Structure 1
Amino acid sequence: MGQFSYLFDMTTERLVAAWGISQGKSTVARKEIATRMRGHPLANGGTYHRGHAIAHTLGGSTDINLVPQLGKINSGPFQALERLAVSHAGALYFIYWLYGPGNSQVPVGVEQGLLMPGATACTFKLATFAN
């Protein structure tokens, strides 16, 4: 799964966090992962997507990298930092999933961040979304 690391809770069988250094835009064709994504269950009907914790365009794959995400977040504001990470090779991108009590596979929120090194300073961006 590229240059990214994943923290997975084996007891509750859910992804907790993922992080890594952007290598720029991935060249892996999306159709190559479509079959694997179809096998991943959706949660709560059509409201949720099989969302990538690490975007496909950053080199994120399937399986451990797929998390139920609200469609309105996954296809909207969530993409802003993903796009910045893709356009800033060398930037540290990270994501942390928040879960409520119990063992639900559906997160209640997500925090994503990006640390972009620059010539004279680093830029840090953080976004938090309810899921």
Structure 2
Amino acid sequence: MFSEAFPDAALVMFTAAGIGFLFDHGVSIDRVPGTAAAWTRARSAPASRDRSRQAGFPLSPTLAEGGYERGHLIAHASGGGLDANVFAQARHVNQGWSPDGRRYRQLERLAAANPGCLVFHRLIYGDDTDVPDLNELTVIVDGQSHSGVFDNRPGVWTSPTRLLRRGRRFHQQVQIAFLLGLAGASAYPEHHVRLTRVSRGRVDLHVVPDLGERYAVVIEIKSTDWDALREDRVRPNVQAHIRQLLGYLDRYIEDMDAAPGDDRNLADGSGGVWDSVSGVLLYPRRPAKTARLQLIDDLISR
């Protein structure tokens, strides 16, 4: 799956302190080298943590301020060490503060309580940085598999109201589905786009299929429950969503027309960032009322 998402990956396997690692050397000048996965048989923890050495892990101030900290692919309590075993992990997961975090800590405790059990931890990247968007931890005890996929983006945890929680959950489900199951393409959640010289936008999901041409798909994820809206709010909501998507597409179309030598070009300076671009509005379900569905289809088709 990693090599399908990143065809130019330079993957190597090695063992350090009893832990197997899959590491990408990142031969592409655009991608940062990083660990893709780690596996081991759980064993007793070392006598003590080397905290001074762990502090040397290069976690930038920007990541720390953004809610990341030094996490372990194989937990210290299961015999995990440092170096390739350390990655930038969302604090709310690593500390067990969120529902995702509590489940993650349960799996870590399960591994620590069962020496000899198999532990497998993989990191799932949505871009070319060394900060994963998701991490999947699996613990196999007596032939039974226990696993979980955890969103490694700090911003997904804070949702103060039920409506926002529902919307955030739908966003998260869609983005995770793309990141886990997408082959033959690269997916970039929360992709930043410069709209003007002074303002920036953030596309919910930017997908680049591996089609032999520079083709981009811009996906805006909306959690709108059309059946719950008042009749007079349907049209304004659809129109607002269309305006937002068109604003992003206009930016991409400008990039298609970039002249040779423009700073928006590809590295070869050949002109044009994209050959073509498509836009998608994605909702959790279709409205049950036929007239309402027809109105939405008519507005989007214009």
TM-based fold match above 0.5:
yes
How far apart are 1:124 and its partner, in Å?
1.0
2:145 to 124, 128, 131: 124
Q: TM-score, normalised by structure 1?
A: 0.87
Tell me, in whole angstroms, the C-alpha distance in 2 between the residues paired with 1:58 and 1:28.
Answer: 12
Shifted more, 37-46 versus 55-64: the winner is 37-46
User: Which AA in structure 1 matches 2:150?
Assistant: F
RMSD of the TM alignment (CA)? 1.3
**Bigger relative contact order (CA 8 A; separation at least 6):** 1
Are positions 1:37 and 2:54 aligned together? yes
Q: Is the 8 A contact 1:94 1:112 kept in 2?
A: yes
How far does residue 40 in structure 1 lie from its aligned partner after superposition? 0.9
Out of 115, 118, 123, the position equivalent to 1:97 is: 123
How far is the alpha carbon of 1:58 from its aligned partner?
Answer: 1.1
Larger radius of gyration: 2
Distance 1:67 1:104 in 2: 12
SS in structure 1 of the partner of residue 116 of structure 2: coil
How many residue pairs match? The answer is 123
Partner of 1:87: 113
CA–CA distance in structure 2, aligned partners of residues 27 and 100 of structure 1: 33
Task: Tell me if the contact between 1:3 and 1:22 (Cα under 8 Å) persists in the aligned partners.
Answer: no
Residue 64 (structure 1) shift: 0.8
Q: Which runs of 5+ in 2 are unaligned?
A: 1-15, 27-31, 153-302
Q: 1:82: Cα distance to partner?
A: 1.1
- Looking at secondary structure, tell me which structure has more strand per residue: 1
Aligned in 2, Cα 1:35/1:8: closer, same or farther, shift over 3 Å?
same
Q: Does 1:74 align with 2:99?
A: no
2:5 counterpart residue number: none
Residue 9 of structure 1, CA deviation? 0.6
Q: Is the helix fraction higher in 1 or 2?
A: 2
Q: Distance in 1 between matches of 2:109 and 2:75?
A: 9
Matched, 1:28 2:47: yes
Instruction: List runs of 5+ in structure 1 lacking aligned partners.
Output: none
Aligned residue for 2:131? 106
CA contact (8 A) 1:98 1:109 kept: yes
The alpha carbon displacement at 1:39 in A equals 1.0
Structure 1 residue 116: deviation in Å?
0.6
Instruction: Give the Cα separation in 2 of the matches to 1:27 and 1:62.
Output: 12
Q: How big is the shift at 1:27?
A: 3.5
Q: What percent identity do the matched residue pairs reach? A: 33
